[in-house]
Each structure stands twice: as C-alpha cells, then as structure tokens.
Structure 1
C-alpha cells in the first residue's frame, strides 16, 4: 500500500510540475525536444 501511494504521489507531483511548463508535455509524449534537421554531428577519428 505504501509503495503504491508513493508511486501515485510521484505521478501527481510530476504531472503538476509538467503543467507549469506546458511545452514539456509535448516533449514527454513525443519522446524528446524538437531538434532542427541537419547533418549529424561527427566526432573526430584518432
């Protein structure tokens, strides 16, 4: 019971904080921030 209560409280706090910044809700649902399409960064080879 205590474990489920903790999980529910965590979810409620998480949703309330996400509602403070609505832009984050879209990022959470789509899997991350929107990034401009462009060439992939490459690391220098040694």
Structure 2
C-alpha cells in the first residue's frame, strides 16, 4: 500500500493513513489531491514534446 492511495480508494484506506500520521481522513484526502496536482505539473513541465 502506498502512502497516497489511488483517487478511488475506499475511505478505510484514508482512515488508516490518517491514523498512522495522526491526522484526519479528510486532510489525508486533501494532501493526496495536492500531491497528485504537483506531480502532474512536474510531469507536464518535464515532457512537453510527448
């Protein structure tokens, strides 16, 4: 299991990560969304010709 589950992950996975990091499930989801946005931006900047 990755730290940031897939966007369609069940809430139990988000809850488990939240408990591990001692943060709420909703905050885990917000962090996941932000991290994926940053990865997409970096991906698009590194490979403009593809």
Q: Give the structure-2-normalised TM-score.
A: 0.43
Q: Which has the higher helix share?
A: 2
Q: Give the structure-1-normalised TM-score.
A: 0.46
Larger relative contact order (CA 8 Å, sep ≥ 6):
2
Q: Which structure is larger by alpha-carbon Rg, 1 or 2? A: 1
